[in-house]
Amino acid sequence: MPQQQTRNPEPGGQLDWWAPETAPAPEPVPMPGTVPEVDRTEVYRAVQRSAAFQRIRHSYRTFVFPVSGVFLAWYLFYVAAQAAAPALMRRPVAGPVNVAWLLGLLQFATTFLLAWMYARNARTKRDRAALSLRWDTQDQLR
């Protein structure tokens, strides 16, 4: 048989006629000798404001933004050349390969070159600093 609750619900709340009446859970008391829980949000905000994080972020941006701009300009040059100079793009270079094919294949080569450059830049300039920052953050969260 369902238990009736005798208390009134909070304003805007509903009574749950089937749930047993329970007292609010007591706040946990830390055990002696243990470290109290840290606010994870504040730890990550402090990391974001730190000089080490700002250096990593600056290093990332100084590489990615210029390289992305150069690659976008290279791509748009290819598209504009196709539209503006079709006769030039049809000019044969070697056998059946014309200028359009050559520039198109160079787009793929550029993509792989930029991926290699990004990985090398990250490995040499950012990864070690980011790993150190990560370990410091994990120590603060333990």
What long-range pairs does 111-119 form, CB within 8 A, spacing at least 24? 111/71, 114/67, 114/71, 117/67, 118/63, 118/64, 118/67
**pTM of the full predicted structure?**
0.62
Q: What is the DSSP letter of 19?
A: S
Q: Which amino acid is at 96?
A: P
Residue 114 pLDDT greater than 80, yes or no: yes
CB-neighbour burial class of residue 71 (10 A; exposed 0-12, middle 13-18, buried 19+): middle
Residue 21 pLDDT greater than 70, yes or no: no
DSSP-assigned states of every residue in 114-135: HHHHHHHHIIIIIHHHHHHHHH
List, for residues 24-52, the tens digit of each pLDDT value.
666 666 666 555 566 788 888 888 888 88
